[in-house]
Structure 1
């Protein structure tokens, strides 16, 4: 089958979404399908640019800048984005291509007009992979109220839902967001688990033995450090465990809070904590091979359910996880049922400290941790399963 996959992140970006979509696109090709990834790209001198990578056709379409800019400018850019992409697609060699299916990835919530146009031209179905219930989570976090900006963004999100024939949500708990009379109710909802391709352990540019954490059992966090993660409690945890010379904390990545967190760690003289810049995704298994526990953080104000990409990377590497997440999140039950770590939901650093010490001791005693983590990854989070499920939705 011939598919179009629309997204706003893809390598060379290093975000978890970019890595996921790289792995998904490779798996489409491995299973014998043709795939074209369409990406908005600012700064292109020409309307479009095309390349083929690992059998995947990548079409970059000129569009306004939407990354690393202010909220207002970003919203305007994202609103214009699908129309710019459609205009420049019509100038590309793929202007008259007919697709057997259109798949798109949210965030962003603004691709609806582009998907609608491709569907109408090809007479095909569409599949929305939704990893981010926006703007709901922004309201939960207190980043916006339910005024005019919210109503505008909610209308955009509802339009995108109306364009989808099938919507793949992260967990069953997120189904509640589509039961309030939105246009998504008329369409099929299903749980589409996150995915991550298996990766070999390679050399990592970060050598923990050459840092201040040498000789310690390391709790690692690798990924975005922003408002949605609520990571201040992890600094409090490191502070509370300074009396344990055998435990250390490593933060790797970037984000709106990364520099503030590093500055705060220095001001509090947290000698058991090291910050490093983001590394290439292929280096992650080599990093985790040097660590004892992976950390997940989600702000307690969240009400949506989320299984972060970093959780998959920990499972893939056989690392037990320490999670500080929102009450009721489906991830809590998954961690506890599968016995792959510990989850704290009360937002208390004392609870987190107790769990961290128990987990680090348990990780030494329970030699079954790595195999349970790997088994969970292989059972639920493979790209092979994700592609088969998506393709199956088009074959109904």
Structure 2
């Protein structure tokens, strides 16, 4: 089959290791032709162009700045996406007829592009539902169902409903996502909705004691403490205020050390906290060289996941998979609506607490200072990943509709 993947993720090579490229390589390995459409933000100063790799073509579409930009710029750029994508596909991929169109949320604003291709090619469509917008923005107070902000909410809600209507199949990250989607969109047939989780192609992770010591010494991380790491976006969805409360509560705990590495709209808030409190058992990094970050991340003892307590939608961060790949136990502090904590605790590869209870977080931290327990949980996490979250799983779930 000819397969088109539409995404807002910045993909520059099919050989990257991400949930999307790993899955798409599985399609390629099984004889399918894959084409990717990915943004090239204005800040890169690159025009729309095609990257031709030996097994895949990637159409990079020039768009406005979407990531790490202010709300107004991001909003305008998002609204222009449909025109940008549709125009680029019409110009550069007009001679290809697609059998299957895969697309992920965000964004929901590619509706007209999907509709155009579905009609043009009589293609099947599969939505990989990675967030539920605009409800997530309502949860965080960025949009409202009443007042002035309701205009934008109603616009995006109509787009969301049309996207579901255009989708022949909808793959959700977990059962809680399936349940939420069907409860709030009763017009969707349960027959087209299924669990299609985030997946990766697991790589071997070497725990080389010499390299672990070297990377920790390089970044002045103690060798004799339990090191907790959070790596990724530092924005409103992560509930940074609670993360700060947890760091503050543990600043005199001489058994632990926290590494926070990432960027986002709330980074400055974290930076100001570190500067104000002069925390000695934690470090904040805005950037690390890719190789150093991967080595450091795989050298830590516990992986952290944070989600804002206000969420009513069941998020399921893909960060979970990289921790499991490294045989690292997980401490997740989230809202009560996601089922990520249930999966972690039922699989016995980590702990969960609600992201409003610092006391519970601290208790879990102390439990994870037990090296034997960490090792047992890490092994179970890696095993759970290999049984449930490999790219082969997502490929087979999607392809089950075409056999």
TM-score (norm 2): 0.89
| Structure 1 Cα separation of the partners of residues 46 and 344 of structure 2 | 48
**Alignment match, 1:357:** 366
| CA 1:240–1:61: 2 relative to 1, 3 Å | closer
Deviation at 1:81, TM superposition (A): 1.5
| Structure 2 Cα separation of the partners of residues 124 and 292 of structure 1 | 46
**Alignment match, 2:88:** 88
How big is each residue's C-alpha offset from its partner over 1:52-74, in whole Å with a ceiling of 9 and x where there is no partner? Answer: 23622101233344333332343
In the alignment, which of 159, 164, 169 is matched to residue 161 of structure 1? 164
SS of match in other structure, 1:253: strand
Give 4+ residue runs of structure 1 displaced > 6 Å after superposition. Answer: 44-47, 202-206
SS of match in other structure, 2:343: helix
Aligned positions of 1:61-80 closer than 5 A: 61-80=61-80
SS of match in other structure, 1:339: coil
Contact 1:325 1:345 in 2 (8 A): yes
**Alignment match, 1:292:** 301
| Structure 2 Cα separation of the partners of residues 55 and 100 of structure 1 | 18
Any unmatched runs of 5+ in structure 1? Answer: none
| CA 1:47–1:346: 2 relative to 1, 3 Å | closer
TM-score (norm 1): 0.90
Most deviating of 242-251 and 275-284: 275-284
Contact 1:170 1:305 in 2 (8 A): no
Deviation at 1:280, TM superposition (A): 6.0
**Alignment match, 2:28:** 29
| CA 1:24–1:205: 2 relative to 1, 3 Å | farther
Aligned positions of 1:284-323 closer than 5 A: 285-323=294-332
- Residue correspondences, number: 390
Aligned positions of 1:172-191 closer than 5 A: 172-175=175-178, 176-181=180-185, 183-185=187-189, 188-191=192-195
RMSD of equivalent CA atoms: 2.6
| Structure 2 Cα separation of the partners of residues 46 and 227 of structure 1 | 30
**Alignment match, 2:197:** 193
Deviation at 1:243, TM superposition (A): 3.1
Deviation at 1:141, TM superposition (A): 1.7
| CA 1:47–1:359: 2 relative to 1, 3 Å | closer
SS of match in other structure, 1:360: coil
**Alignment match, 2:135:** 136
Contact 2:307 2:355 in 1 (8 A): no
| CA 1:37–1:205: 2 relative to 1, 3 Å | farther
| Structure 2 Cα separation of the partners of residues 378 and 238 of structure 1 | 32
Contact 1:288 1:319 in 2 (8 A): no
Any unmatched runs of 5+ in structure 2? Answer: none
